[in-house]
Amino acid sequence: MPGLSTKLPSYSKNETDVEILTYLDGRLRTLHSQCHILIALTAYCDMSTMIGLYLPVFLTLSGINYMGLQICWFIEVIPYFGMNAAVILTLSIGIDRLYSVVAPVRYNKSRRHIYLFSMLLVPFLYASMWVVLSYLAMTKQPYM
């Protein structure tokens, strides 16, 4: 696979998995089913949570001992959103697989765009709700 040999050893497993999924998705048309799209989105959300792991390393190396809540919230909002979305996306994958086994004819006849929209609506609304709630809690006590 071109480009994969030039990776730095510091890449995490999820980043490598996402790149492999993206490469294969462009090459194979069989990976364009509803379930594969849900799996790829879950991988991207998992990768976004890995961004939050670099914050403690940055703070340790820079010598910053204290960070305000508002700054921390803005730095961690993307990993927080990705973590919440990935959990519910995993549930969506399970529901998708159950639906494909219980009613295979109906599953294959379902409209792909409407089906994917309905399967993605709940995870992203759930994650957005928690981001908004955490922002509201942060603004009530900004100096916590």
Residue 80 lies in a domain: yes
Q: What is the pLDDT along the chain (144 residues), one digit of tens a residue?
A: 444 444 444 445 555 666 666 665 556 555 567 888 888 889 889 888 888 888 788 888 888 878 788 888 888 899 999 999 999 999 999 999 998 899 888 888 888 888 888 888 999 999 999 999 999 988 888 666
Residue 116 lies in a domain: yes
| Three-class secondary structure assignment of 39-67 | HHHHHHHHHHHHHCCHHHHHHHHHCCCCC
Residue 4 lies in a domain: no
What the block records as the tokens of 72 is 């921390």
| Total domains present in the chain | 1
Q: What is the pLDDT of residue 29?
A: 58
Q: How many residues does the chain have?
A: 144
Q: What is the pLDDT of residue 69?
A: 82
Q: What is the pLDDT of residue 21?
A: 62
Tell me which residue range forms the domain holding 107: 11-140
Residue 92 lies in a domain: yes
Q: What is the pLDDT of residue 60?
A: 82
Residue 1 lies in a domain: no
Alpha helices in the chain (DSSP H): 13-27, 34-51, 54-62, 69-102, 104-109, 112-140
Query: Rounded to whole angstroms, what are the CA distances from 52 to 49, 59, 77?
Result: 6, 12, 9
Residue 6 lies in a domain: no
Residue 102 lies in a domain: yes
Please give the model's pTM, rounded to 2 decimal places.
Answer: 0.69
Q: What is the pLDDT of residue 87?
A: 92
